[in-house]
Amino acid sequence: MQKAFSYRFYPTTEQESLLRRTLGCVRLVYNRALAARTEAWYERKERLDYVQTSALLTQWKKQDDLQFLNEVSCVPLQQALRHLQSAFTNFFAGRAKYPNFKKKRNGGSAEFTKSAFRWKDGKVFLAKCNEPPNILWSRRLPDGVEPSTVTIRLNPAGQWYISLRFDDPRDLTLQPVDPSVGLDVGMSSLITLSTGEKIANPKHFNRYYKRLRKVQRSLSRKQKGSRNWDKARLKVAKIHQKISDSRKDHLHQLTTRLIRENQTIVIESLAVKNMVKNRQLARSISDAGWGELVRQLEYKAQWYGRTLVKIDRWFPSSKRCGQCGHIVERLPLSVREWDCPKCGAHHDRDINAAGNILAVGHTVTVCGAGVRPDRHTSGGQLRRSRKSQK
């Protein structure tokens, strides 16, 4: 199984100078190739591919004003062209938007394949670097494993990270357990379990909100592009990085616990990109990190031999009575508890939704198809989705 471990590292002055030049060259090659491909299409209706942009790179290296491209390793430059080709492939397939130009203030990354680095005695020696970077090893690679790809990344906060990709031969499958759980995500409670437990939302953004407002006001008073503006921008980026790190750390602990304690986890398939279009809830939804929660559950379930089931997001888990199956027509978000008009059962909105999600998840596991409510039947009866019937 392909995995990648990311570590923080602290380069020396010489290493940082070389790495920054490498990132700058990668960014320049990517942007020039993107501009060339865009120009070729709009002016000549011609599509350039990786081979043609690679030939352009060879020509750029011969120009007098671009001789500095020869001072860094050629591998990250070629990898930048491959990444651009992948971006266009995803665009033409409808999986992504048109590629954007890279910006210096966003940091950047450079990918080194095996021909551009050396792995010796548990240390990484990058091309054109005499010494290995000082990596903060939070965990070691498995014994006998060597990385196939090394990626250097500089985030907007000025922090350096190195990612080692490798093929993990270990079998990390956990012992099977009996419990299964349904998860209902929310904002007041980050998730509600079908067992009745509610995990509070830490609201990491609110913890740093006052500090963030202060530094952002300071940034707004600086002249854009000046030295003081860059210093203020860095302070803002560092606070945003703290918020992101706190959110990811909490989600890692939560998802690891869910994976270890349950054999099957059922959750709704969420369209977070559409949900954040609601201007009143966008900040709260983004701060909750629902997309990252699902992403971590997906790969951890694959790693440890658990089952993650996603049900149709249009399934009325909150409106459906968990006792009799009756579906109420309207249930505003402000209503946190309600009584079923058919059987009289009293429900906590989130716990009832989590229970319904778990019940539908069992149906999906048995039938092997997604389910959603049939609008033409009464009592909230379930049917297989149209896609699964074809």
Distances (CA, A) of 8 to 76, 138, 160, 241: 20, 9, 6, 13
The two three-digit tokens of residue 186, written as one number: 């929310």
What gap in Å lies between CA 149 and CA 163, rounded to an integer?
8
What gap in Å lies between CA 252 and CA 244, rounded to an integer?
12
Q: Alpha helix (H) ranges present in the chain?
A: 13-44, 50-62, 74-92, 204-207, 209-220, 227-261, 272-275, 282-288, 290-304, 349-367, 386-389
Of 371, 366, 369, the residue nearest 381 (C-alpha): 371
Active-site residues, by number, are 184, 268, 350
How do 2-10 and 160-167 pair as beta strands?
antiparallel
What gap in Å lies between CA 89 and CA 69, rounded to an integer?
26
The gap between the terminal CA atoms of the chain, to the nearest Å, is: 32
Core vs surface per residue 306-334: b (16+ CB within 10 A) or e: bebbbbbeebebbbbbbeebbbbeeeeee
Core vs surface per residue 211-249: b (16+ CB within 10 A) or e: ebeebeeebeeeeeeeeebeebbebbbbbbebbbeebee
What gap in Å lies between CA 242 and CA 235, rounded to an integer?
11
Distances (CA, A) of 163 to 5, 104, 153, 247: 6, 20, 8, 20
The two three-digit tokens of residue 67, written as one number: 């001789």
